Amino acid sequence: MAIQDWPEGERPREKLIQQGAAALSDTELLAIFLRTGSAGKTAVDLAREMLAHFGSLAGLLGADRGQFCALKGLGSAKYAQLQASLELARRHLKERMQRHQVFTSPDAVSSFLRLQLQGRKQEIFAALFLDSQNRLIAFEELFRGTIDSAAVYPREVVRRAMAHNAAALILAHNHPSGVAEPSEADARITRQLKDALALVDVRVLDHVVVGLGEVVSLAERGRI
């Protein structure tokens, strides 16, 4: 049965208008993005297949072009639309953090870092550079690889903090395994960077670890 033949309250687009986007499931939101299905499938059917294929919404959003387009019913146009939607979300959250103190909107910080780092195949070590009012100056990816094997140079982090005239920063990195639990290596590099940045009066406010669907704050764990 085509979606237009469903009861109005069950159609994803009408449901969003009546109840708001938060009331929709991942499948329903994705169906609205897709707009149309494929031969013999509604947009909801296709959305459900996509989520099952990639394992989760995060898995889908982190898929590269080849992985995305390999699924029947998708293609480069849909991939470009999805990437444009993600970039709009990133820019929206970045603007919010540039206008307001970061720690008055921790949800925005978590959402921003998820969009930047979740689902990446390689470990990325990054930083949010903040001004004296804890507003965002810049977000930079600083190092790639695993923290255990790829060097994270405190001197380079200090240099970038000074280049931005930052008063504070939030460290962040992802765990490609999907498990956000901080390791001892995470705590160790946090201490090293905190000591190095203290020499130039730059505060480390937090170190955030991004997993698959989960974000863990070392500050909330009392490890900063």
Read off the pLDDT of residues 74-101 as tens digits, 9 standing for 90 and up. Answer: 899 999 999 999 999 989 988 888 888 8
- Are the C-beta atoms of residues 219 and 194 closer than 8 Å to each other? no
pLDDT digits (tens, 9 = 90+) for 108-135: 888 889 888 987 888 999 999 999 999 9
pLDDT, mean over the chain: 89
- On the question of pLDDT at 35 being above 80, the answer is yes
Instruction: Say yes or no: 117 and 208 in one domain.
Output: yes
Domain, as residue range, for 19: 3-87
Looking at the 3D structure of the chain, how many domains does it have? 2
Indicate the pLDDT class of residue 149, thresholds 50, 70 and 90: very low
Contact predicate 170/106, CB 8 Å: no
Query: For every residue of 75-123, which 3-state class applies, written as one string?
Result: CHHHHHHHHHHHHHHHHHHHHHHHHCCHHHCHHHHHHHHHHHHCCCCCC
Which of 194 and 214 is assigned the larger pLDDT?
Answer: 194
- Residue range 173-185, pLDDT digits in tens: 999 888 899 988 8
Nearest to 168 by CA among 189, 124, 137, 140: 137
Q: Which helix (H) or strand (E) holds 209?
A: strand 203-210
Cα angle for residues 17, 79, 25 (degrees, 5° grid): 35
Decide if 94 is inside a domain. no
Sign of CA dihedral 36, 51, 92, 84: negative
Final residue of a structural domain among 87, 122, 146: 87
Residue 48 has pLDDT above 90, yes or no: yes
CA distances from 164 to 11, 22, 91, 112, 136 (A): 48, 37, 19, 20, 11
**Is residue 222 situated within a structural domain?**
no
